[in-house]
Every structure is written in C-alpha cells, then in structure tokens.
Structure 1
C-alpha cells in the first residue's frame, strides 16, 4: 500500500498544512498534487522551480500573486499557472485562510514539504538546511516574501 502521505495524512510547516493527494510514485513520476491550507498573511519567499511547472487552483480564500514583476489576485475557482524557471511568490490576503491545490509536473517536489515538516525548520534560523533540501528538489530562493503592503522587497 502507499505511504502515509499518499494516503492523505497531512504535515504542517510554518503554519501551513500540506496533504499530498497524488504523489510522483502514483503517477509514474508525471505529477504531484498537494492540498494546501495557508493562514492569512502567509506566503513563501520569492523562488524558482527549475524542474517543475506549477499550477495553483484556489478553492477558498484569496491570494495576491507575484510572477516576474507582474501581480494579481486569485480567489475561489481561479487558477494561476507558473511555468518552470519563472520567479514567483504569493501571499494570502484577507481574514480567511486560503485552501488551494498545488499541481506540479513532473512530480516529486511534495517531498520538500515533507522534509521541512519533519525537520521542523524555521526561517531564517535554519536556512542552511532549508536551502540544502531546496537544492535537492530543484528549488532556488530569489528574494523575500510579499509584504502586507504589496512590496516586493529588495532581494534575498
């Protein structure tokens, strides 16, 4: 049978819940799908997936997204597509958490979330370990998260 994450057990890292609903093993490596719930005003640092195309399908709540200098908002029923190699980030806006599906092709990046949760890593204290895992998962951090005022920040 599948491992516990593939069966739907969730992991939590920095207040975000990740539940892998399709892992790379179950898709022959073609894709991974993660059901994610992020709290208000949360979001990752700017980053680039060197290997994966990524699609966000917003189920509830709202995000502000930033992609290579362009920005917009997405709410329930909206999808944001991020091609591999494209610098991007997002931030949950409003008072509600955002639930979204993260669809990654090819699969395997969901292992990054698992490693972060299992290690209980904190930012910025554990950046060396976080960046080592990111490198293994073909992820490169490029700058800060979006600020509540929409500012992009000035680099990593």
Structure 2
C-alpha cells in the first residue's frame, strides 16, 4: 500500500470513529435535562419585539452546535422582516394559532399541528394571524441564532437600520425586505 493511500485510509477510519455512522460528532450531554414550561434553557427569557417570549429550549451548547430549539409565544399579529439564513435550515411546528409564511415565491398557511421546513439561502418571513400563537422551531445547525436573539434582546434602544443589518450579518443572516402585513 502506498503511503498516500495508507494515510487516506487511516484518516477516513479516524473520522468514522470520531463521527460515528451518522457523520456527526458524538457529543451529546451525558445526562438528560428538563426545561420548565415558560422558562428558557439558562434561565434567560428573550422578548421578541419587547412583548413575545422566544425562549431557548435546547441550546447549541447542548448539541455541539448541531441544533438549537426555541419556543415562541406571540401575543400580537407580527413577524420578522423578510430575511435569509446563509448557514442554517429552520423547521417550525405550530402548536397554537394561525400563521402565514412566505418562503421564496410561495405563500403557505400554517395551522396548529402543521410543520414547515425552511431551507437555508431561501428568503422567508411569517406573520401571526391570530391574537395568540405558539410555535416550536429549530435551527440546524445552531449557528449564531442564539447570539442573534441575545444581542437584539439586550439592546436598550431601538437600533438603526445599519445596526440591525450589522447584527444580522454577524450572525449569518441578511434582512432583504419588510415584514408581512395583514
């Protein structure tokens, strides 16, 4: 066996051992954990637009950056600006209320029990259509999603458009249009 082939075989075997059969590093927490309803993973509570709880339930720190899970409770008919994630796919599961999602060129109505997959690099947004709504959603890989919400939540003033754009850029996203309206 030539040296180059030997090294490639050895590196491949080492990668298989490190990442297991799935190709993902085996770094799960050693013990289970529970997050109480209405609480965030680290005792943090983020308020989206100052009113709507958006709590981290499973952190990227728990999954070696592979996944983050959030629970959003909306008390107003609002949603994010049209934006794109460059490094994360998102999955939303509606548990209460109704929503309208726009993903690329498609408009998709979402009701309790519905799930939607939002691929990275595809512009998307949503708006809550009912007075109250709730969704559980995932970012995969976790990326800087938590850092984005933490940064936005900790601002003590309304940021300028330039500041919002910079925060999005730092977290691997870009705002490309306004939020939806009713």
Q: Once structures 1 and 2 are overlaid, which stretch shifts more, 111-120 or 44-53?
A: 111-120
Normalising by structure 1, we get a TM-score of 0.84
Query: What SS does the corresponding residue of 2:100 show, helix, strand or coil?
Result: strand
Structure whose CA Rg is larger: 2
Residue 62 of structure 2: which of 16, 21, 26 is its match? 26
Q: 1:121 to 1:27 in 2, by over 3 A?
A: farther
Structure 2: which 5+ residue stretches go unaligned? 1-38
Normalising by structure 2, we get a TM-score of 0.73
1:103 to 2:144 alignment: no
Q: C-alpha displacement at 1:38, in angstroms?
A: 2.1
1: CA distance, partners of 2:43 / 2:57: 6
Structure 1: which 5+ residue stretches go unaligned? 149-156
CA contact (8 A) 1:121 1:130 kept: no
Q: C-alpha displacement at 1:41, in angstroms?
A: 1.7
| Aligned residue number for residue 109 of structure 2 | 73
Structure 2 matches for 1:82-97, cutoff 5 A? 82-94=118-130, 96-97=131-132
Q: 1:54 to 1:130 in 2, by over 3 A?
A: same
1: CA distance, partners of 2:87 / 2:79: 21
CA contact (8 A) 1:48 1:139 kept: yes
Structure 1 stretches of at least 4 aligned residues deviating more than 4 Å after TM superposition: none
Taking CA–CA contacts closer than 8 Å with sequence separation of 6 or more, which of the two structures ends up with the larger relative contact order?
Answer: 1
Query: What SS does the corresponding residue of 2:76 show, helix, strand or coil?
Result: coil
Q: C-alpha displacement at 1:130, in angstroms?
A: 1.7
| Aligned residue number for residue 133 of structure 1 | 167
Q: C-alpha displacement at 1:140, in angstroms?
A: 0.6
| Aligned residue number for residue 89 of structure 2 | 53
Length, aligned pairs only? 143
Q: C-alpha displacement at 1:28, in angstroms?
A: 0.9
